[in-house]
Amino acid sequence: MKTLFREFAKGIIRENPTFVLALGLCPTLAVSVSVSNAIGMGCASTFVIVFSNIMVASIKKTIPDKIRIPCFIVVIATFVTITEMALKAYFPPLNRALGIYVPLIVVNCIVLGRAEAFASKNRVIASLFDGIGMGIGFTLALILISAIREMLGAGKLFGLTVFPGFEPALAIGMPSGALLIIGLLLGFFNMLKERAK
Amino acid sequence: MNATQFLVIFISNIFIYNVILSRFLGLCSFIAISKETKPALAMSFAVLFVTTMSSVITWAIYRFLLIPFDMTYLRTISFILVIAAFVQLVEMVIRKAAPALYRFFGIYLPLITCNCAVLGVAVLNTDMFFGAETPALASFVYSAFQGFCVGLGYMLAMLLMSAIRERLETCDIPKAMKDFPIGFVIASIMSMAFMGFNGFRF
C-alpha cells in the first residue's frame, strides 16, 4: 500500500511532469489561456495517461520488444480518439476551445514517456497509480500556469473579475506570455531544487 | 485556387501563426536542439521534408480512405501511424542511399515522429481545406503548400534561436535559469517580436 501511495505521490511534486521533467510543454502552453480550458485539457490528458498505462501494463508481455513504440502509440491513439469523440459529443464548447490540441495528446511526451518508462516495466495496479499521479501533477501544473496567465492577462479567474480596476497586461494572454511564464516558473522550480540539495 | 490564397498561407504560417512561437507545436525539439546552429539546421531540414511529405500522404489517406468510408473519427490514429511508418521508411532509405545525408540528420530524423508539428499540420490541413467549397485539387495543393510553409516557419524560428543561444554561451546567467528556463524567456521575447506581424490584413 505504501509503495502504491509513493507511485501516486511522486508525479505530483518530486517528478512533476511539467516543471521537473519538462515534458509535454506544447499543450501546456497552448491551452493555458484560461483556467477552465486548463482543467479540461488536464482531465482529458489524465484519462489518456491512466488508461494507456493500464493497457500497456497488461499487454506488455505479448508485445515484441522491437516494435513496442508503435504498439504503445496505437494504444495511446485509441484512447485519444475516445477522448476526442467524447469531448465532441458532450462538451462541444470545450472541444472548440482546445481545438487541434486534443488530437495532439497522442504526441504528448508525458503519455508515451510513462508508457515506456513505467508501465512497460511494472504491474497493472502500480501503473494505474503512477498514471493518476502523473495526470494530477500535469493538471495542477496547467492550473498554476493558467491561473497566473488569466489573472495577469485578463484580470479574471474562471471568467470572474478578481481585481476591479486592474489594467490587464494583454501580452501575458498572448503566446509570448505563456513562454515567459513557463520560463520563469521553470527557473523558480530549479532554484527550489538547488536549495533543497 | 488563386495566388492570394498562397500568399496568405505563406505569410500566416511563417510569420503570423509561426508553428513554434505562436502555435507551440514542436517546442520540445525547439528548446532541446537549438544550442548550436548546425544541429538546429539539420533538424529544421528534416522537419521541413517530413511536414511537406506527411501533408501529402495524410491528404491522400483522408481523401481516399477516411472520407469515402465515413471513418473520419480514425483521423488521429491513422495519421500518427502513417507518419511513424513514413519516417521510419525515409530513415532506412537515406541510410542506404545517402550515408552523408544520414550522418547530417543523425538522430534527429527518428525524433520527428513525436514532433507535434508534423501531426499538427496534418490535423490543421484537414480542418482547414476539406470544406465543401474547396475542390479536390486545390485542397491538395494548399495542404502540401501549408506543410512546406510550416516547415519553413520552424526553420526560421530554429535558426534565430540557435544563433541567439550560441552568443548566450558566454553570458553570465544565474544557475537556476540556465538552459531550458532562459530558452523559454528568449522564445517569449521572439514571440513578442513576431506578434508585430499580427497587423497584416488581407
| Model pLDDT for residues A65-94, shown as the tens digit of each residue | 878 888 888 899 999 999 999 999 999 999
A182 to chain B nearest CA, in Å?
7
Q: Which of A71, A72, A94, A73 is nearest to A83 (CA)?
A: A94
Whether B202 has a pLDDT exceeding 60, the answer reads no
Residue (of A16, A186, A24, A172) closest to B182 by Cα position: A186
Are the CB atoms for A52 and A111 separated by under 8 Å? yes
Picking from A80, A81, A186, the nearest residue to B180 by CB comes out as: A186
Q: What share of chain B is helix, strand, coil (3-state, %, to 5)?
A: 80, 0, 20
Residue A49: closest CA among A144, A145, A117, A1:
A117
Per-chain mean pLDDT for chain A: 86
pLDDT digits (tens, 9 = 90+) for B130-169: 876 778 888 889 999 999 999 999 999 999 999 998 888 8
pLDDT band at A122 (very low <50, low <70, confident <90, very high): confident
Q: What pLDDT is attached to residue A83?
A: 93
The nearest alpha carbon in chain A to B32 belongs to A22
Predicted confidence (pLDDT) at residue A21 exceeds the cutoff of 80: no
Tell which wins on pLDDT, B104 or A50: A50
Round to whole Å and give the CA distance between B155 and B21. 12
Q: How far apart are CA B6 and CA A176, in angstroms?
A: 27
- The ipTM, to two decimals, is 0.83
**pLDDT at residue B85, as a whole number:** 86
Q: Which grid cell is B191?
A: 514571440
Residue of B25, B76, B189 with shortest CB distance to A80: B76
Report the half-sphere exposure of A2 (CA within 13 A, side-chain side): 0
To the nearest whole Å, the CA of A23 is away from the closest chain B CA by: 8
The residue in chain B having the minimum alpha-carbon distance to the alpha carbon of residue A111 is B114
| Residue in A23, A26, A52, A112 to test binding to B, most B beta-carbons within 10 Å | A26
Q: What is the dihedral angle through the alpha carbons of A82, A83, A84, A88, rounded to the nearest 10 degrees?
A: 100
Alpha-carbon gap, residue B81 to B77, rounded angstroms: 6
Average pLDDT over residues B115-127: 86
Nearest to A190 among B124, B181, B183 (CB): B181
- Closest partner residue to A174 among B76, B114, B195, by Cβ? B195
Query: How far is it, in rounded angstroms, from Cα B49 to Cα B51?
Result: 6
> What distance in Å separates the CA atoms of residue B92 and residue B165, rounded to the nearest whole number?
32
Which H or E run contains A151?
A: helix A124-154
Q: What percent of chain B has pLDDT over 90?
A: 17
| Contact residues on chain A for B175, CB-CB shorter than 8 A | 190, 194
pLDDT of residue A15 exceeding 90: no
pLDDT tens digits, A43-67: 999 999 999 999 999 988 888 887 8
CA distance B187 to B29: 13
> What is the Cα–Cα distance from A149 to A146, expressed in whole angstroms?
5
Task: Determine what percent of chain A is predicted with pLDDT higher than 90.
Answer: 28
- Closest chain A residue to the Cα of B123, Cα to Cα: A100
Strands A160-161 and A156-157 come out as antiparallel
By the CB < 8 Å criterion, does A30 face chain B? yes
Query: Are A179 and B174 a contacting pair at CB < 8 A?
Result: no
Confidence bin at B201 (pLDDT 50/70/90): low
Identify all chain A residues contacting B181, using CB atoms and an 8 Å cutoff: 183-184, 186-187, 190
Q: Are A31 and A37 in contact (CB under 8 A)?
A: yes
Cβ atoms within 10 Å, residue B1: 12
Which pLDDT does position A79 carry in this prediction? 94
Contact residues on chain B for A169, CB-CB shorter than 8 A: none
Cβ pair A103:B177 closer than 8 A = no
- State the smallest CA–CA distance between residue A3 and chain B in angstroms: 31
pLDDT over 80 (residue B194)? yes
In whole angstroms, give the CA distance from residue A15 to residue A23: 11
Question: What cell numbers appear for A188 in the block?
Answer: 523558480
Q: Kindly state the DSSP code that residue A168 receives in the 8-state scheme.
A: -
Q: In the structure grid, which three cell numbers stand for residue B44, read together? A: 529544421
- pLDDT at position A119 over 60: yes
CA–CA dist A99, A95 (Å, integer): 6
pLDDT at B18 over 90: no
pLDDT digit string (tens) for A101-117?
888 888 888 888 888 88
Residues 107-146 of A with CB under 8 A from B: 107-109, 112
Q: Extract the C-alpha cell encoding B7.
A: 500568399
Residues of B in contact with A187 (CB under 8 A): 174, 176-177, 181-182
